A and B are shown apart, each in its own frame.
Chain A
């Protein structure tokens, strides 16, 4: 039987690396009776946490792929999307966020708000996802949930409100006091599965009462009834639940829970919080774009009786064949239904439908609006929309950043070549930030992605899952070229060698376009260039941008203003004007003072402040610019801008500089000019390549 929509929750679990997210997920699965034994991340039992089902992830102790899993808690059906923690895989996080209705933000009780927490918070804000916080690792030395709450308020600007206070910290951590019911919760049994509710310990009473007052004050803002009742001291649990829920869904209040997943403490009350305070799918607004109405936004209704709209947000090549994870936004999906992929126009018959739990699954006959399920045997790309026939809707596309790094890969032999092709085909479908193409000049296969680790993971997967032995070149930064000066051009293309001749003349200017990209302006008057050939000119200029003359990388930030020209009644043609445009560009480009641009990354390093000096040094050695450093007692964070080309191997270097105590994240910031000595080296390399005739 289908679950009523108010009993559905689609949640994500987001966190900074090593905040214990996977451990928490594992405990949730255990307490919801989805698994019968608890495995640890990097576990001694060799099994690894159930959600980390990819071998590689097991080895690295990080979670890369978002696996959806369904659990039941207090009569609610909860879909959990396990979101990856590393910034190199941000697209995975963002794609997960698109299909979530709410989230749990996991914070470390010692580290508090860390760089990744800030990134994740920004993403949650972008998709307007309400969330509750879980301060984990209360058993750690230095645990201070009060301080973490203050940091959430101060650094992230959230109205963070404690829902609990800890009973003991560090090695003394025993449980939590729930501030709504004013009861103490302890977790007994081998795995904390027996929840024992007691009176609040006497020594915590005054602290709990003080914190409860803060909670009631904050919640009162969302309920007049509660405010009035609180004045007379008659506030009930139900009033508090309703008010906190309202504030949370509006993203104006953030309930803070706490515990230690590893020590099996505080997880069940967190699950109660999920069903109590987080929204059901009908309470979250979803919109799609109507492709028939010029991209007009249409509101979707989470009504099982309405026409179906669903999003394919994740593809997986598992042991059982291709699986497509879909989120149903409107209507329902049932075995035998006919739906249309609105991108390709292809009709699809819904075959086998399953509900997933990491690597086991349960067959179902159908799913309704709000649910997340997986389909078998459907051909599509990640991000495609499925709709009932007659509805031409697209769920707004997910923002996909351009790759910043590339790598040449070559198969070791013929068998490997087939396997590699298969793997690349799969990966590019799964992950829009991972791309691959064959360089037309060198014939090499080039893969592109968002960072070193990003590409590493796919190379490893190629080896392990597809058994494709490949050799790789050196990672190559995605440089760009740009002009820095405005130059006029006047170019005539003339060819008269028997048969039909070619004639075209183009006049205008080439100028820097600071917004990036390419802009074309047609200011030709009096039909000096016939109207039908204007697009030919634009096409010609566009084609010239693919490869700059300085180091053979794409040219960005160019504006072409076409002001005049000349045509011939017989000899002018589309191809003549394209050629003329290309000729004009080739001739003018060197005069426009072209420069080489490189990707500059925003790098954030966190660690004990005693290593601040070492970190400063490592950044300045890498042509980096330190933007700021923040020291808070023994903890320091350094934010810097560093060229990507200097960041190769930084994780290893940082580890050795700081005895493994510091970590860093990085993401693309902007393109910046390379210094002259670097430019010289790049040009020399390019000349060398040209001489060898191997192309780029």
Chain B
């Protein structure tokens, strides 16, 4: 049941700006990627996207290749706490358990886990575990070893099960990281498999969001969003 607090929260979330800019949202069957160097704030953004879905009553599976489970749980708690601290959002605390209960964390070790196995387990969670996820967050996935074929498996999977899948993409190469179209050079080969690509970059003292690809169109655009350095929430550009 979506309450008044949730409605308010959903309506006021800066993520509505993001959705508007990407033709109404990522959409089921599609792959979205947030790309940046390590430590810029991708995980915080992914968790914010996830919590926004959770507030809408939509279950989320959070797949992590690196972090420990309690580490991820803490991320959610922090983001939740920051949201509850926003004006008129105090009542969020009362629905905490209900909201967080709609999230499952699945942790895989990348060196041991093949994508087929990961997808099999996610499917088992949705089908056998009767967990009606619409959104899957994939954090810490390394794009390089599996190549575009591996990402294509995720894309097929998303289409088959009607999921929207958000990835974080860690950029490690030398500068310049981005080509003239704003596409991260390391993800160039994967571009066909990515529906929405957003890059996070430091701009002076804050982190700033650029839309690189929007559902098939390569159209670099400033999203007018930034990452609040204290709360680590996605916020409107001032």
Contact = CB atoms under 8 A, between A and B. Distances in A.
Interface of A: 154-155, 609, 612-614, 616-617, 619-620, 625-634, 636, 639
Size category of the binding interface on chain B: 20 to 34
A621 B155 CA distance: 30
B106 A616 contact: no
A613 B128 contact: yes
8 tightest A-B CB contacts, nearest first: A613-B124, A616-B129, A617-B128, A633-B112, A628-B105, A630-B107, A620-B130, A613-B128
Contact of B131 (A626, A630, A631): A626
A278 B217 CA distance: 66
The interface centre, meaning the residue of A626, A629, A634 with most chain B CB atoms within 10 A of its CB, is A629
6 contacts: A609-B117, A616-B124, A617-B124, A630-B108, A631-B106, A632-B112
Contacts of A609: 117, 121
Interface string B100-125: 01001111110011000110110011
Contacts of A639: 69
A620 B131 contact: yes
Nearest to B106: A629
Dominant secondary structure at the B interface: mixed
A631 B119 CA distance: 12
Contact of B107 (A613, A620, A625, A631): A631
A208 B161 CA distance: 51
B128 A631 contact: no
B112 A629 contact: no
Contacts of B68: 154-155
B121 A612 contact: yes
B128 A632 contact: no
A630 B125 contact: no
A204 to B, nearest CB: 26
Interface string B123-160: 01101111100000000000000000000000000000
A631 B124 contact: no
A626 B106 CA distance: 10
A146 to B, nearest CB: 15
A239 B13 CA distance: 61
B107 A629 contact: yes
Interface of B: 68-69, 73, 101, 104-109, 112-113, 117-118, 120-121, 124-125, 127-131
A633 B128 CA distance: 21
Contact of A626 (B108, B109, B117, B125): B125
A632 B66 CA distance: 11
A617 B125 CA distance: 8
A627 B131 CA distance: 11
The interface centre, meaning the residue of A155, A609, A614, A628 with most chain B CB atoms within 10 A of its CB, is A628
B121 A631 contact: yes
Contacts of A633: 109, 112-113
A617 B108 contact: no
Contacts of A629: 104-107, 121, 125
B112 A627 contact: no
Contacts of A613: 120-121, 124, 127-129
Contact of B109 (A614, A616, A632): A632
B128 A626 contact: no
Contacts of A617: 124, 128-130
B104 A627 contact: yes
B115 to A, nearest CB: 13
B49 to A, nearest CB: 19
Contacts of A619: 129
A114 to B, nearest CB: 15
A51 to B, nearest CB: 35
A75 B106 CA distance: 51
B109 A620 contact: no
Contacts of A620: 128-131
A11 B105 CA distance: 38
Given A609-B121, A628-B69, A631-B113, A614 B107 contact: no
Nearest to A636: B121
Nearest to B130: A620
Contacts of B69: 628, 630, 639
Given A616-B128, A620-B129, A620-B130, A631 B109 contact: yes
Given A626-B131, A627-B104, A629-B104, A612 B109 contact: no
Given A628-B105, A634-B112, 16 more contacts: A612-B121, A617-B128, A617-B129, A619-B129, A620-B129, A625-B101, A626-B125, A628-B73, A628-B106, A629-B107, A629-B125, A630-B106, A631-B108, A633-B112, A636-B121, A639-B69
A619 B131 CA distance: 11
Contacts of B131: 616, 620, 626
Nearest to B105: A628
A346 B96 CA distance: 52
B128 A614 contact: yes
Nearest to A155: B68
B112 A626 contact: no
Nearest to B97: A672
Contacts of A628: 69, 73, 104-107
A628 B106 CA distance: 6
A613 B121 CA distance: 7
A620 B132 CA distance: 12
A612 B104 CA distance: 14
A630 B109 CA distance: 8
A614 B129 CA distance: 8
B124 to A, nearest CB: 3
Contacts of A626: 104, 125, 129, 131
A675 to B, nearest CB: 12
The interface centre, meaning the residue of B73, B118, B128 with most chain A CB atoms within 10 A of its CB, is B128
Contacts of A155: 68
A616 B125 contact: yes
A636 B117 CA distance: 12
